[in-house]
Amino acid sequence: MSSGSVRDSGTIKIYNTPDHAKTVWGIFIFEKGENNMDLVEYTKSELSRLEKNDKDGEQKAINKSILEIIEVFNKQGFSGFSAGYTTWVLDRLLRFRPLSPLTGEDNEWDPPRQQHANGVTVYQNKRCPSVFKAVDLDDNTVRYHDVDADIVSDNGGITWFTSRRFRKEIEFPYMPPVEPERVYIEYKEDVPPGFTGDEYDIITDNPERIKALYERKRKEFDEEQKLKGIIRKSSAKPWGEGE
């Protein structure tokens, strides 16, 4: 498929693609053609692949529920554009993400969740549960942050975590992302696996440093796991030996 041009209509990007496919927000909605399955047939085919190792029947039960949702969606008669828009809306709602930017106005906040001993009162946003407001009455400051906006890796992407230390401060109006931004950091001192350092560099825009950090940490992790295996093996008792 050849790529088409892009025109930006406000917050919606519409991609001018061939007639048999329409793209909205980067989602391809294919209309059924002579050699194409429709959405329900395609869903059945893909879900059936997940049941091959379904020993307890749990996957089959989940598949049944998913297929019911797809059948309802398919009956709505959406066009390429409306199907893409509806998919975008459903994706955000199912993840508890608002459909329009948060304003930060007083009516968007729940009553205080907690008041810390240091005088900071914390409020949670009604429209997006990952967004919080911290009001410090002592120094008369207000800070806003989204605890799900960023995930951090300190080993080149081997593992990811969230932390109060790396919370993203935000300003309003604010449109919470569906997926968190991946932030790569590298500590300035040598830190063993499982520990954190005090000072660090953000290296997200430096792929060479990310690769080097990954390779170094991967080697450290592998050596640590090998050592743990040796320790477990040496501490194991011979077969049949009692306590």
**Number of folded domains in the chain?**
2
Confidence class for position 156, pLDDT limits 50, 70, 90: very high
Cβ-based neighbours of 81, under 8 Å, separated by 6 or more: 22, 24
Whether 50 and 137 map to the same domain: the answer is: no
Query: For 53-81, what is each residue's pLDDT tens digit?
Result: 898 999 999 999 999 999 999 999 888 89
Confidence class for position 117, pLDDT limits 50, 70, 90: low
pLDDT above 70 covers what percent of the chain? 78
HEC string for 6-74: EEEECCEEEEECCCCEEEECCEEEECCCCCCCCHHHHHHHHHHHCCCCCCCCHHHHHHHHHHHHHHHHH
In which element (H, E) is residue 168 found?
A: strand 168-169
99 assigned to some structural domain: no
Whether 61 and 176 map to the same domain: the answer is: no
Q: Please determine, for residue 194, whether its predicted confidence score (pLDDT) is greater than 90.
A: no
Whether 64 and 116 map to the same domain: the answer is: no
Q: 240 phi and psi, to 5 degrees?
A: 90, -5
Are 51 and 60 in contact, with CB atoms under 8 Å apart? yes
Whether 75 and 123 map to the same domain: the answer is: no
Whether 86 and 45 map to the same domain: the answer is: yes
Does the pTM surpass 0.85? The reply is no
242 assigned to some structural domain: no
237 assigned to some structural domain: no
Q: Mean pLDDT across the stretch 215-220?
A: 93
Q: Mean pLDDT across the stretch 33-43?
A: 76
Whether 16 and 87 map to the same domain: the answer is: yes
73 assigned to some structural domain: yes
* The pLDDT of residue 154: 95
Whether 155 and 183 map to the same domain: the answer is: yes
Which residue in 73, 48, 41, 42 sits closest to 63, CA to CA?
Answer: 48
Confidence class for position 236, pLDDT limits 50, 70, 90: low
* The pLDDT of residue 32: 53
Q: What is the mean pLDDT of the chain?
A: 82
44 assigned to some structural domain: yes
Per the structure, the complete domain to which residue 67 belongs is given by: 5-94
Whether 90 and 111 map to the same domain: the answer is: no
Domain boundary among 94, 125, 159: 94
Q: Is 186 exposed, middle or buried (0-12, 13-18, 19+ CB in 10 A)?
A: buried
* The pLDDT of residue 209: 97
Confidence class for position 96, pLDDT limits 50, 70, 90: very high
Whether 116 and 228 map to the same domain: the answer is: yes
Whether 126 and 201 map to the same domain: the answer is: yes
Cis peptide before 173 (omega within 30 of 0): yes
Which residue in 151, 106, 113, 150 sits closest to 127, CA to CA?
Answer: 106
Q: Mean pLDDT across the stretch 213-236?
A: 79
Looking at the DSSP bridge assignments, the partners of residue 27 are: 24
Give CA–CA dist 206/28, Å, rounded.
31
Q: Please determine, for residue 144, whether its predicted confidence score (pLDDT) is greater than 60.
A: yes
Q: Mean pLDDT across the stretch 101-109?
A: 97
Domain boundary among 50, 71, 94: 94
243 assigned to some structural domain: no
Give CA–CA dist 79/24, Å, rounded.
11
* The pLDDT of residue 138: 82
Whether 54 and 119 map to the same domain: the answer is: no
100 assigned to some structural domain: no
Domain boundary among 74, 94, 114: 94
* The pLDDT of residue 164: 85
Whether 112 and 205 map to the same domain: the answer is: yes
241 assigned to some structural domain: no
Q: Please determine, for residue 36, whether its predicted confidence score (pLDDT) is greater than 60.
A: no
